[in-house]
Amino acid sequence: MLRGDIIRYVDMTIAEGQNLQRGMNFNVTNRGYSVILMSVRENAPYADETIDDGRTIIYEGHDVQKNHAPAGAILKDLDQPYKTPSGTLTENGKFFDAATAYKNNPDSIARVVKVYEKIKDGIWVYNGFFYLTDAWIQQAGGRKVFKFKLEMIEDDDTAVEDKKDHKAHVLELEHNRLIPTEVKVMVWKRDKGRCVKCGSNTNLHYDHIIPFSKGGASDSPDNIQLLCSSCNLKKKDNIE
């Protein structure tokens, strides 16, 4: 799987070998990394955001489960939980403790997190691997929420999948490959959810017309197109 691949939810669960409905999934079984599902769409349930031209994600923690909340309570009025009523850590708590451990000892190991982004109902994009480098609790609308900082990993995606945890470092890139959400949405609509070369609507990928390695922009829809995996392989890094 390569950064920019478009994937269905069912295929995500197959790829990760587990149900991903929670959105936050600490330590996916036998994978050596964690998984989060994010969205920066309008009316998204949580206030996720990308900064530093997409190299950094600020991810909001998740609300208390409905079955753990007092009867009649509005979930968005309640503090996001660190522990469950039984005293075990929530996914918020697990990610928070892992980030805090790294922050308190930068020479330690930072957790690796695989990120999928929802851009439209039924449409997800693989955003690659990130290091979990920080976490904090802040006030938001009269309640306390968790915030998590994730920094993009420079390594090749396919190589990272075979690794466990990695020592985190600040990533500096001359060209950012992560395409902003608004550009993804615009390109999907413009290309009608099909490969611009052959018309296929399966195995799609967001492709840089001028490769980012050759100076092509990630933040302009004029330089982004939808290609299927077959047409993408034929194109490779050639500028047409």
- What are the pLDDT digits (tens) for 38-89? 999 888 999 999 988 788 999 999 999 999 999 999 999 999 999 999 999 9
- What are the pLDDT digits (tens) for 130-151? 999 999 999 998 999 999 999 9
- Give long-range contacts, CB 8 A cutoff, 24+ apart: 230-239: 230/198, 230/200, 230/203, 231/195, 231/197, 231/198, 231/200, 232/205, 232/207, 235/207, 237/211, 237/213, 239/209, 239/210, 239/211, 239/214
Q: Taking all residues of the chain, what is their mean pLDDT, rounded to a whole number?
A: 86
Is it the case that residue 173 has pLDDT exceeding 60? no
Which pLDDT band holds residue 167 (cuts at 50, 70, 90)?
Answer: very low
Q: Average pLDDT, stretch 79-108?
A: 95
**Is 158 or 19 the better-scoring residue by pLDDT?**
19
Are 220 and 188 in contact by the 8 Å Cβ rule? The answer is no
Q: Domain-by-domain residue ranges, the chain?
A: 6-173, 179-240
Is it the case that residue 30 has pLDDT exceeding 80? no
Is it the case that residue 166 has pLDDT exceeding 60? no
What is residue 236's predicted lDDT score, i.e. its pLDDT? 67
Are 111 and 99 in contact by the 8 Å Cβ rule? The answer is yes
Is it the case that residue 187 has pLDDT exceeding 70? yes
What is residue 158's predicted lDDT score, i.e. its pLDDT? 45
The CATH number of the structural domain formed by 6-173 is 2.30.280.10
Is it the case that residue 27 has pLDDT exceeding 70? yes
What is residue 156's predicted lDDT score, i.e. its pLDDT? 46
Rounded CA gap, 51 and 213, in Å? 21
What is residue 239's predicted lDDT score, i.e. its pLDDT? 53
What is residue 177's predicted lDDT score, i.e. its pLDDT? 65
Is it the case that residue 226 has pLDDT exceeding 70? yes
